[in-house]
């Protein structure tokens, strides 16, 4: 499948199927690409845009991160 065919198939999923797909594949897909600092700089504005569209502000994100994992170095 080409990337365009994959995108077209993903767009046809229901909202619940899209959510399940994201939760299932995001950790696997990002494992290798997160090692590339240039990619991280491309991903950062995308993630900030998602947060902005969701109505969540950065402070809420920090609070949520603290709930799930605590501050770095505390584990």
Q: In percent, how much of the chain has pLDDT > 70?
A: 92
Report d(CA 28, CA 69) in Å as an integer. 19
Per-residue pLDDT, 75: 45
Predicted TM-score (pTM) of the model is: 0.65
Q: Are 48 and 37 in contact (CB under 8 A)?
A: no
* Residue 57 CB contacts under 8 Å (≥ 6 apart), including other chains: 51
> 16-28 burial by CB neighbour count: b if 16+ within 10 A, else e?
eeeeeeeeeeeee
Q: What percent of the chain has pLDDT over 90?
A: 35
């Amino acid at each position: 499948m080409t990337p365009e065919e994959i995108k077209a198939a993903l767009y046809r999923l229901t909202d619940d199927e899209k959510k399940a797909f994201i939760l299932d594949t995001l950790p696997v897909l990002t494992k290798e690409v997160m090692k590339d600092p240039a990619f991280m700089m491309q991903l950062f504005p995308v993630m900030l845009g998602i947060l902005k569209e969701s109505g969540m502000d950065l402070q809420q994100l920090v609070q949520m991160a603290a709930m799930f994992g605590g501050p770095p170095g505390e584990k």
